[in-house]
């Protein structure tokens, strides 16, 4: 479409289309017409789950997984307790703070971390 303007091309294998307010057949027809996968809610946008309905606690399980993934490389390092504290405060606190910029997290989400 606009590739002549910017030089960018849409990667249809990575793209999803979200259609609201029509029947399932029309959704599938539009997805086929655009050559994209029909997306389902909740979706992730910038790493945050987005949904038209209330998100339950399982939607935020990615927070604890991201924290554990970030901690694994530090296990083998020879860090002092002060060094670990600085890494924890700077890196690990940014992950939940980013999510809390979008959502008011339930107490159960905080306790699961």
Q: Which residues, in sequence order, are CB contacts of 34 under 8 Å at separation 6+? A: 12, 15, 17
> Residue 31 is part of which domain span?
1-40
Per residue in 46-100, pLDDT (tens digit) is 888 888 788 887 887 888 788 778 776 666 567 777 777 777 777 777 877 887 7
pLDDT score at 77: 66
Do residues 19 and 29 touch, judged by C-beta distance below 8 A?
A: no
Number of domains in the chain: 2
**58 lies in the same domain as 25:** no
**34 lies in the same domain as 89:** no
**3 lies in the same domain as 58:** no
Q: Which residues, in sequence order, are CB contacts of 95 under 8 Å at separation 6+? A: 63, 66, 67, 70
Task: Kindly indicate the confidence band of residue 28, based on its pLDDT and cuts at 50, 70 and 90.
Answer: very high
**80 lies in the same domain as 106:** yes
């Amino acid at each position: 479409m606009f590739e002549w303007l910017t030089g960018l091309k849409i990667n249809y294998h990575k793209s999803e289309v979200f259609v609201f307010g029509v029947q399932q057949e029309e959704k599938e027809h539009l997805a086929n017409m655009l050559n994209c996968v029909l997306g389902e809610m909740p979706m992730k946008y910038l790493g945050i789950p987005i949904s038209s309905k209330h998100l339950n606690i399982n939607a935020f399980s990615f927070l604890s997984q991201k924290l554990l993934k970030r901690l694994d490389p530090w296990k083998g390092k020879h860090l002092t307790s002060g060094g670990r504290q600085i890494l924890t405060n700077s890196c690990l606190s940014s992950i939940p703070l980013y999510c809390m910029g979008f959502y008011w997290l339930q107490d159960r989400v905080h306790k699961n971390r």
